[in-house]
Amino acid sequence: MIDSYLAELKDVLEKVDKSKIQNLIDKVIEIREKDGTIFIIGNGGSAANASHWACDLSKGTLTDFYDPSYKRLRVVSLTDNVATLTALTNDLSFDQVFSQQLRNLIRKGDLLISITGSGKSKNILKAIELAKDLGAYVFSVLGFDGGEAIHLSDDSIVVSSRNYGIIEDVHLTIGHILTASIKKDHNYVN
| Predicted pLDDT of residue 83 | 98
Strand order of the β-sheet with 37-41 is 74-77, 37-41, 111-116, 137-143, 155-159
Q: What would you report as the CA-atom Rg of the chain, rounded to the nearest whole angstrom?
A: 16
Confidence bin at 68 (pLDDT 50/70/90): confident
| Predicted pLDDT of residue 187 | 55
| Predicted pLDDT of residue 87 | 97
What's the full length of the chain, in residues? 190
Confidence bin at 186 (pLDDT 50/70/90): low
Question: Average pLDDT, stretch 34-49?
Answer: 98
| Predicted pLDDT of residue 55 | 98
| Predicted pLDDT of residue 103 | 98
Residue 36 scores a pLDDT above 90: yes
For the ranges 20-24, 67-71, 179-183, the lowest mean pLDDT is seen at: 67-71
CA distance 83 to 23: 34
What does the pLDDT look like over 81-136, one tens digit per residue?
999 999 999 999 999 999 999 999 999 999 999 999 999 999 999 999 999 999 99
Q: Which fold has domain 2-189?
A: Rossmann fold (3.40.50)
| Predicted pLDDT of residue 190 | 42
| Predicted pLDDT of residue 144 | 97
For all residues of the chain together, what is the average pLDDT? 95
Domain boundaries, the chain: 2-189
DSSP for 2-59 reads HHHHHHHHHHHHHHS-HHHHHHHHHHHHHHHHTT-EEEEE-STHHHHHHHHHHHIIII
